[in-house]
Structure 1
Amino acid sequence: MKNLLFAFLCLFSFSGFAQQFELHYDFRHTVDPKMQSKNFPTLFFEYFKSKEIGSTLLKIQTDFKGNKGNIGQCFIQLSQTIKFWKPKIYLNVGYSGGLGIIESIKGGFYINNSYALGAAYPFLGKNSWYSAVLCYRYSAFEKPSHDTQFTFYVGKGIRNYKFITSASLVCWTENRNHGDDYTKNLSGKKLAFFGDPQIWYNVGKGFSAGSKIWLYYHVLTPENTIQAYPTLAVKYKFE
């Protein structure tokens, strides 16, 4: 239990209960004008709480990429770890999903629900923390997809945690045919990847400044290309 608690406590500045807001400005149109129509701000809310039997992590991402800066997409992720036994392996359950709009057709879309069930193994290094999670993933497309998902979390404190670097790296398989008109002629599986390496400088009094790079492969486009979009950000942590 101590390993998992220590890893997440470091991530949230040594607090067993923490909440934080992050405000990012995403430069994806600047670096990829052919694929991305605009730059936009994104607001994150994160909630973390640890107990003796495990920990809860909730993330809500709101993208202000709609017309005149309105909300264009909202994404929710929830993760829970549980352990009632001595071995340092935790049961991990997770959920993600959301909604968005497409301005060009004045319509909306689902970010399809996905559910995960598996095992998490946290471990420590010098001034650093890690967690490896292997799960079964169910994606609720019109034609559901049953897959394997691997997630790796890493974080490191630098100069007595004046700087903190971290990342979550997620890799999974997924049916190419989702059961809709757009994918109905496709077959087989595809490999998808998401990452968010980031660095933060602790300004003080709960405030940090930093940057994050969004990494996508087979998430935003079916093309075999890695997309990398940087942000500039500020963060405020409160308890």
Structure 2
Amino acid sequence: MKTLLLLVSVFFSPLVRAQQLQFHYDFRHSIDPTQNRRNYATLVFEYFKSNDSTGSFLLKMQTDFSGENNNIGQLFLQVSKNLRYWRPPLYLSLTYSGGLGVAPPAYGYYLTNSFGIGVAYPFQWKGAWFSTSLVYRYNAFPKASHDPQLTFYFGKGFFQYKLMIAGSLVGWSENRNQGTDYTAGQQGKKIAFFGDPQLWLKIGKSVSLGSRINLYYHTLTSENRIQVYPTLALKTQF
């Protein structure tokens, strides 16, 4: 989701617009065949705009070609807006995510709408860029869930930015009973987690080769296990 472009822009550029397209091949079936029916390709588009200290905007769309015959199996949308019109270096953070998917043979499902409002704080340390945010998260399950969400972004360039490390870590809580037949009878909250650390090596003026490590806990399964799925990826910025 949000890469080093976001972090660098917040600190150094009065007006930045950036777009990138990423193509990933996900090896999750080869690594964990009992939980995943196939390996598949993913296409990611990101648009980012920053207006110096007054805020930033990010739009991310991800398409997973995980359906039968490599058709689209899932669409994900993420939008975030940070605002600041005051002196303290804290931003008002507004977030949205959601999407749609298809399970075989032809069963549709939602990626539940999630809305967030809170604060974000960007900072630098030893040549690296970071940003952390804490928001109130509303998950629009049939039985709505009201929870905190903590997000941490990081990024650092090496060798005049020919090598880049960036990514995000997101943790939140949500109701175990979400108002569905599958979760009926469950009680209390569960902790969920997602991370996407990335490594990119520039091989051209605007093209990079790299990998993203998808980390999940209580996101794809209700089992108490961490799932780790790497990709092989190509990225172009324009």
Q: Where on the TM-score scale, by shorter chain, does this alignment land: which range? A: over 0.9
- 2:29 is paired with a residue whose SS is helix
Q: Hey, what does 2:36 align to over in structure 1? A: 36
Q: Hey, what does 2:219 align to over in structure 1? A: 219
- 1:204 is paired with a residue whose SS is coil
Q: Hey, what does 2:200 align to over in structure 1? A: 200
Tell me which amino acid in the other structure corresponds to 1:235: K
Deviation at 1:10, TM superposition (A): 8.3
Q: Distance in 2 between matches of 1:85 and 1:128?
A: 25
Q: Hey, what does 2:47 align to over in structure 1? A: 47
Q: Distance in 2 between matches of 1:72 and 1:20?
A: 22
Q: Hey, what does 1:23 align to over in structure 2? A: 23
Kindly indicate whether residue 124 of structure 2 is the aligned counterpart of residue 124 of structure 1.
Answer: yes
Cα shift readout 1:14-59 (whole Å, capped 9, x = no counterpart): 9810101000000000000111110000000000001142100111
Q: Distance in 1 between matches of 2:123 and 2:80?
A: 18
Going from structure 1 to structure 2, the CA distance change for 1:110 and 1:129 (only over 3 Å counts) comes to same
Kindly indicate whether residue 189 of structure 2 is the aligned counterpart of residue 189 of structure 1.
Answer: yes
Runs of at least 5 residues in structure 2 that lack an aligned partner in the other structure: none
**Contact 2:10–2:56 (CA under 8 A) maintained in structure 1:** no
TM-score, normalised by the number of residues in structure 2: 0.94
**Contact 1:169–1:193 (CA under 8 A) maintained in structure 2:** yes
Going from structure 1 to structure 2, the CA distance change for 1:233 and 1:68 (only over 3 Å counts) comes to same
- 2:30 is paired with a residue whose SS is helix
TM-score, normalised by the number of residues in structure 1: 0.94
Tell me which amino acid in the other structure corresponds to 1:86: R
Tell me which amino acid in the other structure corresponds to 1:227: Q
Q: Hey, what does 2:134 align to over in structure 1? A: 134
- 1:68 is paired with a residue whose SS is helix
What does residue range 148-187 of structure 1 map to in structure 2 within 5 Å? 148-187=148-187
Q: Distance in 1 between matches of 2:103 and 2:225?
A: 22
Q: Distance in 1 between matches of 2:237 and 2:181?
A: 44
**Contact 1:7–1:124 (CA under 8 A) maintained in structure 2:** no
Seq. identity, % = 55
Task: Number of aligned residue pairs: give it.
Answer: 234
**Contact 2:15–2:51 (CA under 8 A) maintained in structure 1:** no
Runs of at least 5 residues in structure 1 that lack an aligned partner in the other structure: none
Q: Distance in 2 between matches of 1:32 and 1:127?
A: 37
Q: Distance in 1 between matches of 2:120 and 2:10?
A: 17
Q: Hey, what does 1:91 align to over in structure 2? A: 92
Tell me which amino acid in the other structure corresponds to 1:231: T
- Superposition RMSD in Å: 2.0
Going from structure 1 to structure 2, the CA distance change for 1:75 and 1:190 (only over 3 Å counts) comes to same
Q: Distance in 2 between matches of 1:5 and 1:201?
A: 15
